[in-house]
């Protein structure tokens, strides 16, 4: 059978595990959109490899579930991953194009099913009677007005879910328009699910506070899995298989990965065995293979760092915090010269006198400590 653990791609929604508190908030947002026509925003942020894209894909599957390639919801979802600086004009153009494409795909599915004798009736196809029309004047209208016209012309959709991955690439003008997208007075509510890097939420609060308000009560720092969450993540892909994890296998995987999502997937993928038990000895024996999976990304991070650099980085990472006072770092046993060293390496960023943020992903420390076989107190 195919190895169900795939570190190089987002986790399939059916295999998703953990993050229950976030999904509870999502379900509440969806319920309010359907029953109260209330728009809202959800923000997830965190370090690279923390599973933000997997979480957005899961959110989409909750909002618009599919069975045998057929949508089971009257909602519409669009997903866009940003990879370059995106202006407000480009943002509206993307959203408009994606929404029109989604509507056309729904209509094409309906027409296809209608043409097959004995297939499901049109009354049972969500969005069967959706209608939209873009009325343009003789002159060109702005991308903003195209988007607004499209949303206002939607027929029987419950809501529109917009999932924006890596929203760090949005220009200041585009960020400002997120508020307009959510707060526009439309008969069809909009749910905005946005992901960004570890500093994205702070950037919104410090520089774009009116925008941050749309995520009030629904802003989540996505970090390591708790042990119970990690077990769910490892068990879900094996449902229906004869492969199983033992309790000591779970503990070993969590001990090695510290619960960091990408490293959990690397260890699970390397440890997988068909029709067998994944126990502690197998996980330990698969460690080199697991580290090799992460090599293309992680091996090139902090190549010039010493063993002591990584041990200091590990202490910071294991604290579970991202902001520190110099006194807190000293209490961890990190001497002032080493604080400066970590700043020069880009692990820490000095915010003000005696205050620092951790900007490198914890997984970098976890990976290199394992790779180098460094002795730690844990």
Give the tens place of pLDDT for each residue, 191-224: 999 999 999 998 888 888 888 889 989 999 999 9
Closest CA to 283 of 292, 274, 273: 273
Give the tens place of pLDDT for each residue, 21-38: 999 999 999 999 999 999
What are the Cα distances from residue 169, in Å, to 80, 88, 109, 174, 324?
12, 11, 34, 9, 26
Which of the residue ranges 43-52, 79-88, 96-105, 296-305 would you say has the lowest mean pLDDT?
A: 96-105
As beta bridge partners, residue 196 has 45
Report the pLDDT value the prediction gives residue 349, as an integer from 0 to 100.
Answer: 94
**The two structure tokens encoding residue 21:** 């508190």
Cα–Cα distance for residue pair 273/244, rounded to 1 Å: 9
**Residue 123 predicted with pLDDT over 70:** no
Fold agreement between 227-293 and 307-372? no
Which of helix, strand or coil describes residue 3? coil
Is the C-alpha dihedral spanning 299, 301, 304, 305 positive or negative?
A: negative
**The two structure tokens encoding residue 11:** 């986790």
**Residue 137 predicted with pLDDT over 60:** no
Q: Which residue has the tokens 């585009």?
A: 174
What is the homologous superfamily of the domain 19-221 according to CATH?
P-loop containing nucleotide triphosphate hydrolases (3.40.50.300)
Burial of 165 (0-12, 13-18, 19+ CB in 10 A): buried
**Residue 83 predicted with pLDDT over 50:** yes
* Residue 302 near residue 269 (C-beta atoms within 8 A): no
**Residue 119 predicted with pLDDT over 70:** no
Q: What mean pLDDT, rounded, does the chain reach?
A: 89
Percent of residues, the chain, with pLDDT higher than 70: 90
* Residue 102 near residue 51 (C-beta atoms within 8 A): no
Q: Which residue has the tokens 């026509």?
A: 37
- The pLDDT confidence band at residue 190, using thresholds 50, 70 and 90, is very high
What are the Cα distances from residue 136, in Å, to 97, 99, 148, 150, 257?
15, 17, 12, 11, 55
As beta bridge partners, residue 126 has none
As beta bridge partners, residue 349 has 357
- The pLDDT confidence band at residue 55, using thresholds 50, 70 and 90, is very high
* Residue 326 near residue 334 (C-beta atoms within 8 A): no
DSSP 145: H
**The two structure tokens encoding residue 132:** 């939209």
- The pLDDT confidence band at residue 65, using thresholds 50, 70 and 90, is confident
Q: What class has domain 307-372?
A: mainly alpha
- The pLDDT confidence band at residue 118, using thresholds 50, 70 and 90, is low
Extents of the domains making up the chain = 19-221, 227-293, 307-372
How confident is the model over 37-63, as a mean pLDDT? 95
Report the pLDDT value the prediction gives residue 113, as an integer from 0 to 100.
Answer: 65
**What are residue 17's phi and psi, to 5 degrees?**
-145, 160
| CA 270 to mean position of chain CA atoms | 23
Question: How many of the other CB atoms lie within 10 Å of CB of 217?
Answer: 10
Report the pLDDT value the prediction gives residue 317, as an integer from 0 to 100.
Answer: 94
Give the tens place of pLDDT for each residue, 242-287: 999 999 999 999 999 999 999 999 999 999 999 999 999 999 999 9
Is the C-alpha dihedral spanning 22, 293, 263, 349 positive or negative?
A: negative
What CATH number matches the domain at 227-293, 1.20.1440, 3.40.50, 1.10.8, 3.30.310?
A: 1.10.8
Cα–Cα distance for residue pair 259/318, rounded to 1 Å: 11
* Residue 264 near residue 232 (C-beta atoms within 8 A): no
Which of the residue ranges 63-67, 139-143, 204-208 would you say has the lowest mean pLDDT?
A: 139-143
């Amino acid at each position: 059978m195919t190895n169900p653990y795939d570190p190089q791609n987002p986790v399939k929604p059916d295999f998703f595990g953990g993050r229950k508190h976030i999904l509870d908030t999502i379900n509440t947002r969806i319920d309010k959109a359907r029953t109260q026509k209330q728009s809202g925003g959800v923000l997830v942020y965190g370090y690279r490899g923390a599973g933000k894209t997997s979480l957005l894909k899961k959110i989409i599957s909750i909002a618009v579930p599919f069975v045998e390639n057929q949508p089971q919801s009257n909602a519409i979802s669009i997903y866009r991953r940003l990879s370059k600086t995106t202006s407000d004009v480009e943002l509206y153009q993307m959203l408009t194009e994606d929404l029109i494409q989604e509507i056309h795909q729904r209509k094409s599915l309906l027409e296809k099913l209608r043409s097959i004798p004995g297939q499901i009736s049109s009354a049972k196809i969500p969005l069967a009677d959706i209608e939209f029309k873009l009325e343009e004047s003789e002159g060109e209208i702005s991308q903003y007005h195209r988007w607004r016209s499209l949303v206002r012309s939607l027929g029987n959709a419950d809501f529109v879910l917009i999932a924006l991955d890596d929203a760090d690439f949005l220009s200041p003008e585009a960020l400002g328009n997120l508020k307009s997208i959510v707060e526009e007075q439309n008969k069809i509510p909009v749910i905005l699910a946005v992901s960004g890097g570890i500093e994205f939420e702070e950037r919104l609060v410090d520089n774009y506070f009116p925008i941050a308000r749309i995520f009030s009560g629904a802003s989540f720092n996505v970090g390591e899995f708790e042990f119970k969450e990690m077990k769910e993540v490892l068990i879900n892909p094996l449902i229906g298989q004869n492969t199983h994890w033992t309790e000591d296998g779970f503990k070993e995987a969590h001990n090695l990965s510290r619960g960091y999502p990408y490293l959990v997937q690397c260890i699970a993928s390397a440890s997988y065995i068909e029709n067998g038990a994944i126990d502690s000895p197998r996980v330990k024996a698969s460690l080199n293979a697991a580290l090799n999976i992460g090599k293309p990304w992680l091996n090139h991070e902090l190549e010039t760092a010493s063993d002591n650099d990584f041990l200091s980085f590990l202490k910071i990472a294991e604290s579970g915090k991202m902001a520190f006072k110099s006194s807190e770092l000293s209490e961890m046993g990190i001497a002032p010269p080493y604080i400066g060293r970590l700043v020069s390496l880009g692990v820490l960023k000095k915010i003000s006198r005696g205050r620092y943020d951790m900007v490198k992903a914890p997984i970098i420390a976890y990976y290199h400590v394992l790779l180098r076989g460094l002795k730690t107190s844990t």
